Amino acid sequence: MTGTTGTSHWAPGDHILWRYRGNAVEGNGHVHICRPVTVVEDTPDLLAVWMAPGTECVKPVLADGTPVHHEPLATRYTAPRTTVRSQWFGTGVLKLARPGEPWSVWLFWDRGWRFKNWYVNLEAPRTRWVRGVDSEDHFLDIAVHPDRSWRWLDEDEFDQAQRAGLMNAGQARRVRRAGRAAVEVITAWGRPFCDGWQDWRPDPRWTVPVLPEDWDRTPAHMTS
């Protein structure tokens, strides 16, 4: 991985890790999602990164290797899990995150750079460390379409996560508030939706980041 140290900002073209820890009511679990990405922009107002097609990532699966989404919802969060290395086979994803906000905004394209949609991933505000950022996914998401219409996603998983004990009532209320705050931004067509990122394209000179062997290393120092 390339990049700066401490709380300094990364430069365009730097390779960092975008990671998620397992959910727990008290504290963070172990890292179970890791995606090497390329920094597009890193300022006091925004971190933008690009996950290129073909990127080798880490994702959770059931203990027997079955994809998590194949497990019935009732046992999806209680069945034993492990992690595996896997390639991102879709088109690339541009991820945008503003410091302190409990969500990130992802942009998806179809083949030929036909813009598909924005995706608001509700999550813990990211913590920065020397090699990337860490967060915790909060299950509930929002799809935002090119015509500016929007809809909630994964409400069933959000409810099941609470039943499974991965999120208590207080945290669930905070996530709902965060979702409503994100909807206010969408309705007002605030940043980053109004910034024209759907017309952005990656630098053709960029290489696909490599997933390091120690992708699950626990950082010594982290900052928000």
What is the band of 90 on the pLDDT scale with cuts at 50, 70, 90? Answer: confident
What tens digit of pLDDT does each residue of 13-36 get? Answer: 999 999 999 986 544 579 999 999
Distance (Å, rounded) from C-alpha 63 to C-alpha 82?
5
Fold of 15-194: FomD barrel-like fold (2.40.380)
Query: What DSSP string runs through 189-218?
Result: T-TTGGGTGGG----TTPPPPPPPTTTTPP
What tens digit of pLDDT does each residue of 96-107 get? Answer: 999 999 999 999
Provide the percentage of residues in the chain whose pLDDT is more than 90: 89
Domain boundaries, the chain: 15-194
Nearest to 138 by CA among 150, 152, 148: 152
